[in-house]
């Protein structure tokens, strides 16, 4: 690890000022990707700006039709939240299945989506639930936020403040976890919304994506049998030592069917 300057501001304004004054400043949320990268000398920021003491970035609020989660709210807080559990229990299930207890108590929703690991759970949660990412300069629909492997629309220095989730009629998240890391080999969020059914898939491809064919079939008939004949094209999906592209394509339909079965039981 190379030398760096460490900062722990208590306001968003101070964090932005530190970033602007730094030669190559990076924001630090949970640090599960950034710190190992620094230890391996794959990343060498001049300044680390720790966001953990900025109160405006933490906390959960719920109204009748939406849930808002601060960017630095830990996964475990989401998993245990009564407000989230009453409004969107699928989001509690998603957060409870991330990593292990240590990861859930340190990792944050904002850090996860800003990093956009192709096998992380939250991208499917955001896209499936039609969430909106609120930054310090704009509101971005989740459908537009994730752009590629480890890539988002965030501009340099732009900070995520919170994520706003509309409350769906029903939702379910199911994943096939890697047994060691608990990252999603494939994870699927199925949600029934006022605009129809949304099916968002993580882990299968380089970036989270929606499956239009399964969405259409389920919007016409929300029943597991509606997925009979649905096939996800394996072309372009992840193909590695953990699972082939063909296997991941198969899992997309299997996990979607499992989610629908749970919602219709």
The pLDDT tens digits for 110-141 are 999 999 999 999 999 999 999 999 999 999 99
The pLDDT value given to residue 43: 92
Domain extent for 35: 5-50
Q: What is the pLDDT of residues 22-55, one digit of tens each?
A: 999 999 998 888 999 999 999 999 999 999 999 9
15 and 120 fall within a common domain: no
133 and 251 fall within a common domain: yes
Per the confidence metrics, is the pTM higher than 0.85?
yes
Q: With CA atoms as reference, report the closest residue to 189 among 99, 125, 97, 96.
A: 125
133 and 198 fall within a common domain: yes
How many domains, the chain?
A: 2
Q: How confident is the model at residue 194 (pLDDT cuts 50, 70, 90)?
A: confident
120 and 19 fall within a common domain: no
244 and 167 fall within a common domain: yes
- The dihedrals phi and psi of 257, each to the nearest 5 degrees, come to -60, -40
27 and 107 fall within a common domain: no
Cα–Cα distance, 219 to 161 (Å, whole number): 33
- The vertex-115 CA angle with 113 and 117, nearest 5°, equals 90
14 and 94 fall within a common domain: no
Does residue 94 contact residue 173 with C-beta atoms inside 8 Å? yes
Q: Which of 50, 66, 83 is the last residue of a domain?
A: 50
**What SS3 class is residue 177?**
strand
Does residue 92 contact residue 124 with C-beta atoms inside 8 Å? no
CB atoms under 10 Å from CB of 139, counted, come to 10
Mean of all residue pLDDT scores within the chain: 96
31 and 108 fall within a common domain: no
Does residue 151 contact residue 207 with C-beta atoms inside 8 Å? yes
Inter-CA distances, 44 with 2, 108, 170, 187, Å: 6, 22, 44, 32
18 and 80 fall within a common domain: no
CATH of the domain at 15: 3.30.43.10
CB atoms under 10 Å from CB of 182, counted, come to 15
68 and 23 fall within a common domain: no
The pLDDT value given to residue 38: 93
Q: How confident is the model at residue 1 (pLDDT cuts 50, 70, 90)?
A: confident
101 and 215 fall within a common domain: yes
Answer whether residue 80 shows pLDDT above 90: yes
The pLDDT value given to residue 32: 87
14 and 127 fall within a common domain: no
Cα–Cα distance, 153 to 85 (Å, whole number): 29
Q: What is the pLDDT of residues 213-232, one digit of tens each?
A: 999 999 999 999 999 999 99
């Amino acid at each position: 690890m190379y030398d760096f300057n460490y900062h722990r501001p208590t306001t968003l304004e101070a964090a932005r000022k530190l970033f602007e004054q730094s030669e190559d400043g990076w924001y630090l949320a949970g640090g599960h990707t950034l710190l190992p990268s620094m230890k391996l000398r794959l990343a060498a920021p001049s300044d680390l700006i720790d966001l953990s003491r900025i109160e405006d970035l933490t906390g959960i609020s719920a109204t009748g039709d939406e849930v808002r989660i601060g960017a630095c709210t830990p996964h475990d807080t989401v998993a245990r939240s009564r407000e989230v559990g009453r409004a969107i229990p699928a989001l509690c299930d998603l957060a409870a299945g991330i990593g292990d207890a240590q990861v859930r108590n340190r990792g944050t929703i904002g850090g996860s989506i800003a990093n956009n690991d192709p096998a992380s759970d939250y991208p499917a949660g955001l896209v499936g639930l039609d969430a909106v990412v609120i930054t310090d300069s704009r509101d971005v629909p989740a459908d537009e936020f994730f752009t590629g492997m480890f890539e988002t629309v965030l501009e340099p220095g732009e900070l995520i403040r919170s994520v706003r989730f509309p409350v769906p009629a029903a939702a379910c998240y199911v994943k096939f976890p890697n047994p060691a890391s608990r990252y999603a080999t494939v994870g699927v969020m199925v949600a029934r919304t006022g605009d129809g059914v949304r099916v968002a898939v993580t882990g299968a491809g380089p970036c989270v994506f929606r499956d239009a064919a399964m969405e259409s079939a389920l919007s016409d008939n929300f029943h597991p049998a509606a997925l009979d004949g649905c096939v996800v094209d394996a072309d372009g999906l992840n193909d590695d030592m953990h699972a082939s592209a063909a296997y991941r394509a198969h899992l997309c339909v299997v996990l979607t069917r499992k989610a629908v079965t749970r919602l219709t039981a």
